[in-house]
Amino acid sequence: MTYDRLVCANCAAPVSEGRCPVCRANRERLQQEGFFAGLNPMALIALLAVLIAAVALLAHQTA
Ligand SMILES: [Zn+2]
């Protein structure tokens, strides 16, 4: 994430320094977005693996 380059509209300091509540709220939100952006591909792969396993199991049972 490039949020450490963002300047706060409230206190005009870098958001990454967290000098005011607006900075801290923005920093927290951006960090969570970064976390979920990293998590989602892994979650999708896991979901796909479960789906393939379920289909394979179903095909095996009906065959
Ligand atoms: Zn601020």
In tens, the pLDDT along 2-48 reads 666 789 999 999 998 999 999 999 888 888 877 666 667 778 899 99
Of 16, 38, 13, the residue nearest 28 (C-alpha): 16
- CA distances from residue 40 to 14, 30, 45, 47 in whole angstroms, order as listed: 28, 15, 9, 10
Ligand 1 centre to CA of 7 (Å) is 8
Domain ranges of the chain: 1-32, 39-63
How far does residue 28's CA lie from ligand 1's centre (Å)? Answer: 12
Report CA(15)–ligand 1 centroid distance (Å).
6
3-state secondary structure (DSSP) of residue 20: coil
Output the pLDDT for position 21. 95
